[in-house]
Structure 1
């Protein structure tokens, strides 16, 4: 079973809208997101299965999911791990959610922690991959509070999982309300906590809705997340 586990969380650009147009997914899976018997997914029913896109289809179930960064991340990372390594992906992201909905005690947060704990029965959590913040660009108050809220989230997750040094790789958002997006990005890029790194999605191509990353962009982001994990964590954590 999965022995290197990664939590995928946040909102719609983590759950994936690549290839989604007019509430339909085109079904196109790029080679970088191909299934592999050594890449598993923790389903909504808490069962391990071979991972396939859309990874979040039964998690972000009220929306139409397409390609996210998870499979590209796993396929990029897998060759850099030991030959017998298995990657376990635990999808938790839900579209349209603000960071306040991810506070300790709220349903989304508690579900994420529960699923993470269940997943550790067969392996070790190596990192949380977090892509969220577009919803917090909708008001100046939410944008101003983002930095403190994301710090609290990271501290709470580490505490509740009893992993005080758990790596946390966040994505600086590429889209959102133009009036407040830079305030959220500033908080994301400026976050100064141990074992927290930021990958910047700015400039990656967007769907016609100007909110969600295209399939091409999600593949690129998956590779960026893998590179960040390898650079900052793999050499000191796994070898």
Structure 2
């Protein structure tokens, strides 16, 4: 099973189709479930992946469509050999395993080594490796760090530290890390955080840009259509930069 960790805050957890704290329940075909795409539940059980992927992880908020399913469906045809279709709940033979870890409204300091969110992410990633290899960590976070000058100024260093820590703790010094540069944030430091994200220059770190993708009426979270596009952008980044190396 090809395993991908999904982490960060609300736009990774998914708010597509969420309006006034209610999800409209619309699942586009690009995000429809497939038997060969599984997710690791909060209880560390493998099950057929369905939107909202983060419903039992980001429990304090209303989750909707995120980029994870669109990403998985986009890469699935490129995985060789073709994956068989297991029964729901069966890990063996699955094509893609998604490990949801994102929690809305969280700042980068909450993802530091020793903090509960970081430790939960590492624990879930380790549990997933019993059934396959981690191919990449997909990261979309930073809106909360645009709220203060100090957080924005420290952002690049904190993300670089996060990358180093998670690679060390998982024993994967070359673990691919695909991050998303912010598409939104009405705070004064939005551009500073984006600049920090786009300035990260580390081996096996790729940044995709979400700027210009359509937002929900809250002017913060990506729409369902935008989440599908982002998932496909992330898939292209993975396939273009890492698929051959990990096949």
Q: 1:103 aligned to 2:112?
A: yes
Once the two structures are superposed, the pairs formed by residues 65-84 of structure 1 within 5 Å of their partners are: 65-82=63-80, 83-84=82-83
Report the equivalent of 2:139: 130
The aligned length equals: 236
Report the equivalent of 1:39: 37
Report the equivalent of 1:165: 174
Report the equivalent of 1:112: 121
Q: CA deviation at 1:179?
A: 1.4
Q: TM-score, normalised by structure 2?
A: 0.95
Q: CA deviation at 1:178?
A: 3.8
Stretches of 4+ aligned residues off by more than 2 angstroms:
none
Report the equivalent of 1:199: 208
Measure the CA separation in 1 of the matches of 2:59 and 2:145. Answer: 22
Q: For structure 1, which runs of at least 5 residues remain unmatched after alignment?
A: none
Q: 1:237 aligned to 2:246?
A: yes
Q: CA deviation at 1:46?
A: 0.3
For residues 70-107 of structure 1, what are the alpha-carbon distances to aligned partners after superposition, in whole Å with 9 as ceiling and x for unaligned?
00000000001110261000000000000000000000
SS of the aligned residue for 1:185 comes to helix
Measure the CA separation in 2 of the matches of 1:112 and 1:67. Answer: 20
Q: TM-score, normalised by structure 1?
A: 0.98
Q: For structure 2, which runs of at least 5 residues remain unmatched after alignment?
A: 84-93
Q: CA deviation at 1:20?
A: 0.3
